[in-house]
């Protein structure tokens, strides 16, 4: 045997031994979990009951179609209801593919952590060391922002920069060329403000380090090892499967199909461009329940990388919308003292939800094709499933029966970030004490009709005051938080984004 052949043989043996060790460690850990009652559930999954419940909720809330996948007791259960397209009447099936929107950010974060595992990326070195041409309107911020800040949404980069840079493999490189005009919502590290733009920067980092497109890296480093055969990023891949059409409509209305299947450009991939079945989303979530290994024992992420993604990095000003804290890619929550993670996603007319409780071996993915009341369907199913299968209580959010009295004067005025204006005014009658008017300005002026939320106080402290907002009685309550930075700058946290007071 030649020296090269001997080395290759030895390397293969080492890899197989590593797989066996990983599998043995995982099985041992699962045995301990079972002994402690953590990874198993007391009750079996009642497929007929949950199918009836899914059907009922979709009918009640006028959602055209949805797919639900639940991991419990080590098994994945799949359900589907309704139709994929109101114009065609094609039924939703468990193998139907939906757009998962910003749930995609968890996949991009996993890609980034795989590069950390490989010793190819330091999360605390400036992005500019990897992307020398990376630029923002604030030159100093561009020199200092780190991948960690991109992952945990503390970079301050304006979050909603959409730029259609074409279908070519250079779309992300061209997107990053355009960020030089993008400003900041806040100084880097000062507060948490959700940024899709930041995740596209992370996607470009993946490309530069791996020499692959983001799409190829996702397939080779995440999808293939996990066996995610119905997870994809390009429309020509989606065409192989039954695909959901998005629908738009207000709560209580019958929604109508969107004019196009997907109105996001290819450059939106890292922050929102993945399509998948509900079961594949749960299979991805299982990676973080099983400590970084695939079901066949293949190690995809180190246990340290998984723990890093599930460790609190920053406290959320809004403690309810996507969790109380943010990790490296996931929103983090605790229900009855038990840690969980998740993410929501929305595209034009499709909404996706993922929640997982690793200690209980539970993951829930709900994918819907529209309807303004989809959040209510998610909330009902997630609360009931987590109670039934994990014994945990998902907290509800909304005002108390007798809301506290708060001084609203400090909150009224204008709050502005690039492309959006939020105007807070006192309300003299009807529900709530404040109105929040949300509208597009500058390049987004006239792209949508202004929206108004009525705000009711929930709690108030010297540090922050929390309101519950909704547009009408058919809407779900959403958190609106007013707070100030140490330098005295006032902010409103709305839709997980920080917007500074401008007037």
Enzyme catalytic residues: 102
Q: How many residues does the chain have?
A: 503
How far are the Cα atoms of 323, 419, 499 from residue 496, in angstroms, in the given order? 10, 16, 10
List b or e across 116-149, with b for residues whose CB sees 16 or more CB atoms inside 10 angstroms: bbeeebebeebbeebbeebbbebeebbeebbbbb
- And the tokens for 230? 């119905």
Backbone torsions φ then ψ of 386, nearest 5 degrees:
-65, -35
Rounded Cα distance between 89 and 95, Å, is 16
CB neighbourhood size of 180 (10 A): 13
Rounded Cα distance between 385 and 155, Å, is 35
| DSSP characters over 81-122 | EEBS-TTT-PBP-TT-BEE-GGGHHHHHHHHHHHHHHTTS--
Query: Residues 389, 395, 400, CA angle at the centre, nearest 5°?
Result: 150
> Strand 362-368 vs strand 478-484: parallel, antiparallel, or unpaired?
unpaired
Rounded Cα distance between 159 and 314, Å, is 17
> Strand 451-460 vs strand 464-470: parallel, antiparallel, or unpaired?
antiparallel
Rounded Cα distance between 389 and 393, Å, is 11
Q: Tell me the H-state helices in 118-254.
A: 139-144, 147-151, 171-178, 196-210, 214-218, 224-226, 235-238
* CB-based contacts of 309, cutoff 8 Å, min separation 6: 109, 110, 113, 288, 327, 328, 329, 330, 341
Instruction: Say what angle helices 374-390 and 47-61 make with each other, to 10 degrees.
Output: 160
């Amino acid at each position: 045997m030649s020296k090269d052949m001997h080395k290759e043989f030895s390397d293969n043996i080492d890899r197989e031994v590593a797989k066996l060790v990983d599998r043995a460690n995982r099985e041992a850990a699962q045995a301990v979990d079972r002994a402690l009652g953590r990874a198993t559930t007391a009750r079996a999954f009642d497929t007929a009951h949950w199918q009836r419940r899914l059907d009922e909720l979709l009918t009640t809330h006028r959602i055209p179609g949805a797919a639900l996948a639940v991991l419990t007791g080590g098994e994945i259960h799949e359900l589907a209801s309704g139709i994929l397209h109101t114009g065609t009447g094609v039924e939703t099936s468990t193998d139907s593919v939906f757009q998962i929107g910003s749930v995609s950010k968890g996949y991009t974060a996993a890609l980034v952590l795989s590069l950390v595992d490989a010793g190819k990326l330091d999360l605390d070195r400036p992005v500019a060391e990897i992307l020398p041409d990376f630029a923002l309107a604030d030159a100093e911020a561009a020199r200092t922002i780190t991948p960690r800040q991109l992952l945990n949404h503390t970079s301050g980069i304006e979050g909603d920069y959409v730029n259609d840079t074409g279908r070519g493999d250079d779309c992300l490189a061209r997107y990053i060329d355009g960020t030089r005009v993008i400003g900041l919502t806040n100084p880097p590290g000062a507060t948490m403000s959700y940024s899709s733009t930041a995740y596209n920067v992370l996607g470009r980092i993946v490309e530069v380090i791996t020499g692959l497109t983001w799409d190829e890296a996702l397939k080779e480093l995440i999808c293939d090892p996990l066996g995610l055969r119905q997870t994809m990023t390009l429309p020509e891949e989606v065409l192989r499967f039954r695909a959901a059409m998005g629908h738009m409509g207000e709560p209580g209305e019958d929604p109508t199909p969107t004019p196009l299947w997907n109105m996001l450009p290819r450059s939106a991939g890292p922050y929102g461009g993945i399509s998948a079945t509900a079961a594949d989303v749960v299979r991805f979530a299982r990676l973080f329940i099983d400590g970084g290994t695939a079901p066949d024992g293949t190690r995809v992420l180190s246990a340290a990388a998984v723990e890093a993604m599930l460790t609190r990095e920053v406290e959320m000003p809004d403690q309810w919308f996507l969790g109380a804290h943010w990790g490296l890619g996931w929103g983090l929550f605790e229900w009855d003292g038990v840690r969980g993670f998740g993410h929501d996603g929305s595209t034009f007319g499709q909404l996706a939800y993922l929640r997982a409780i690793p200690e209980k071996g539970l993951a829930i993915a709900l994918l819907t094709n529209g309807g303004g009341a989809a959040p209510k369907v998610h909330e009902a199913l997630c609360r009931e499933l987590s109670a039934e299968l994990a014994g945990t209580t998902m907290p509800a959010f909304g005002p108390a029966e007798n809301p506290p009295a708060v001084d609203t004067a400090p909150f009224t005025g204008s709050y502005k970030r690039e492309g959006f204006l939020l105007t807070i005014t006192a309300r003299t009658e009807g529900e709530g004490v404040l109105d929040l008017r949300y509208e597009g300005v500058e390049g987004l002026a006239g792209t949508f009709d202004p929206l108004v939320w009525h705000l009711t106080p929930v709690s108030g402290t010297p540090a922050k005051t929390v309101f519950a907002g909704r547009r009408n009685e058919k809407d779900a309550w959403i958190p609106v938080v007013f707070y100030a930075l140490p330098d005295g700058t006032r902010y409103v946290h709305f839709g997980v984004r920080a917007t500074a007071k401008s007037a």
